[in-house]
Structure 1
């Protein structure tokens, strides 16, 4: 009877068969299952429960749980079964389809290992560190238990190789956003942005999924030598779109054009006749340009530099020199400021002329005494 039963079992339940089982007993390293229609129970070793490493069977299986299993070995009054192989069979067909179509799907990160992340998709999926994010990540410990979106980048069923990428999903989303932004924005638009990266020649600003360049000359009305002295990564800024080049995916932006210019309300701050201190910025043949406020230069015409005749401004001035100037005229519309150095030297010049005309022997005498003696000489008296 026993021999006939064993024979029947071997004929009816063979290696490779898929059967339904219910967890009857859960031990640390194995699960005892009752099999529908079988004369005796089977055992599922802990290594055959999942494609991932498991410390205790009770971590993933509970008594009474039902699942499909593959018979991997038929022994005397016992079956050795695998849940892992059934999961893999079901998974590969789905994964092959997802790989072929480029489908994006979500999955939980089950473990963090050296070099990347592990995901359970019925088979073990591996996410290399370089394919987790589109930026450098120093520590992945916080990723365990997280649900991320993935694309399959490599699949080899025979070798059991499954490589996933979250970075590919992010790049695809950015490409979609970029296309949308390029189709919407136009020159002259005023937008809110975030400084993403600082460079020696300017700053890259994110304006909604696309980075545009603010050249150093477009950051401020004032001259800037170091971009990082006025901007920092993560800073929110308002920008004006200068130009859009969808073909080359380039956007030129300006922060300066969203700020009040240095000439705004200049007539309220500077009036005709005002005396200001400035710095000589440029010397040209017809005069000197003097900066009196950041971004505001006025012209001191050569005729307004000195009471003495000079051929070039270089004779009395040099670039970088600090000078006092008098405002002759203000024209905000044309952004013109006429200045004079000579007008502030007039009194001093007159004093020099008078001192020069007085003879040394007149020291101690009144001016009228000296003039009177000279008139007597001319009259012959």
Structure 2
């Protein structure tokens, strides 16, 4: 879930920028320092939006810069357990599909996509069902539910999010659309 949060952090202003310490400079330095960072409490910091308050500068011995404490707003992405998310398949591998959900990818394991057996087509970069001819490939839009989450603050790329698409209303958007059309056609035929 995307959230706007108010945070406080300290940023180092290099000596060459000390003549003009403005909110824009502090914002840029905070963006360089924080964007893409993962935090257990607020999630992934997408961007710093507004700097509200800049404290007095502090000098640390043997350091060339001046350190300023700043209060600012940031846009974050914090995946929540059981949250339903829409995303796009960014990679297909033999054991499932990686789905881009915001600034992170979640794994949709092959066992969590469908009740049908899905075979991996390495050449076509897709998972395919022999029973229904359904396929799941790179670029497909998917709706899934977050069922596991392990956030690694030190190495955000190692964070893991597990998804399922086996519940009603979840799965590839095309499959959901086809199922809805079949239900509507059956209802009209009655």
**TM-score range for the pair, normalised by the shorter chain length:** 0.3 to 0.5
Greater strand proportion? 2
Q: Which TM-score applies when normalising by structure 2?
A: 0.42
Q: Which TM-score applies when normalising by structure 1?
A: 0.23
Specify the structure having the higher radius of gyration (Cα): 1
Greater helix proportion? 1
